[in-house]
Structure formats: structure tokens, C-alpha cells
């Protein structure tokens, strides 16, 4: 979630951490703890962040990345390369890759 919060702030607003902290009525260090994942978001704080950042709660919580269509903030170069290679495969080869990945994870 911390990564999502920072990315949402940077991608969808011109606000810095201090601006968001002021909007929330909290100290800069308290807000930084949210972005660093050192402090859990309360429901009322989440509602305020949705308003301030102009994104859904799902985006902040990491359950919906559709508003953050650019994966570059979340994926390494190797991960992006793997995804690109996977997307170039036909359905049969994709099925093979999924079976291999599943076997390696077990």
C-alpha cells in the first residue's frame, strides 16, 4: 500500500508530502509513515486521501491498478521484459508458461 500511496500522490497530483499532510491535518512525519508503510491507514484517513488524491480507495489499497495503467513504478526491468515476452506468445505457449510457473511456485 505504501508504494501505491506514493505513486498515486506523484502521478495524480502536484502535491508533495507536506501538502498532503497539511490537507490531512497531520504532521509531515506522520504522513511519511503512511507512505513508508510504517503506519496503518484508518478509514477516515483513507476517505480523505481519496478526496485529496482524486483516486479510488482500491487504488490506494492496491486492489485496483487500473488508474495506474503504467506498471513501471511497480515492476523491475526483468519483470517488464518477462511480461512483454509472455504477451508475445500464442495461447498454447502461454498455457505452458503458466504451468511451469505454477510448478516452480509449489
Taking the alpha carbons at both ends of the chain, their separation in whole angstroms is 26
The model's pLDDT over 25-54, given as tens digits with 9 standing for 90+, comes to 999 999 999 999 899 999 999 999 999 999
Q: Would you state the CATH architecture of domain 2-69?
A: Orthogonal Bundle (1.10)
**Is-above-0.85 flag for pTM?**
no
The model's pLDDT over 39-93, given as tens digits with 9 standing for 90+, comes to 999 999 999 999 999 998 988 887 765 555 555 556 777 887 888 888 898 989 9
Q: Could you write out the DSSP letters of every residue in 34-68?
A: HHTTSSPPPHHHHHHHHHHHTS-HHHHHTS--GGG
Other residues' Cβ atoms within 10 Å of the Cβ of residue 104? 7
Amino acid at each position: 500500500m505504501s508504494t501505491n500511496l506514493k505513486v498515486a500522490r506523484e502521478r495524480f497530483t502536484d502535491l508533495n508530502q507536506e501538502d498532503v499532510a497539511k490537507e490531512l491535518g497531520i504532521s509531515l512525519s506522520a504522513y511519511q509513515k503512511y507512505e513508508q508503510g510504517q503506519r496503518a491507514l484508518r478509514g477516515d484517513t483513507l476517505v480523505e486521501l481519496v478526496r485529496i488524491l482524486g483516486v479510488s480507495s482500491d487504488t490506494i489499497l492496491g486492489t485496483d491498478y487500473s488508474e495506474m495503467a503504467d506498471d513501471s513504478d511497480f515492476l523491475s526491468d526483468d519483470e517488464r521484459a518477462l511480461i512483454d515476452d509472455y504477451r508475445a506468445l500464442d495461447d498454447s505457449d502461454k498455457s505452458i508458461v503458466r504451468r511451469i510457473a505454477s510448478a516452480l511456485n509449489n
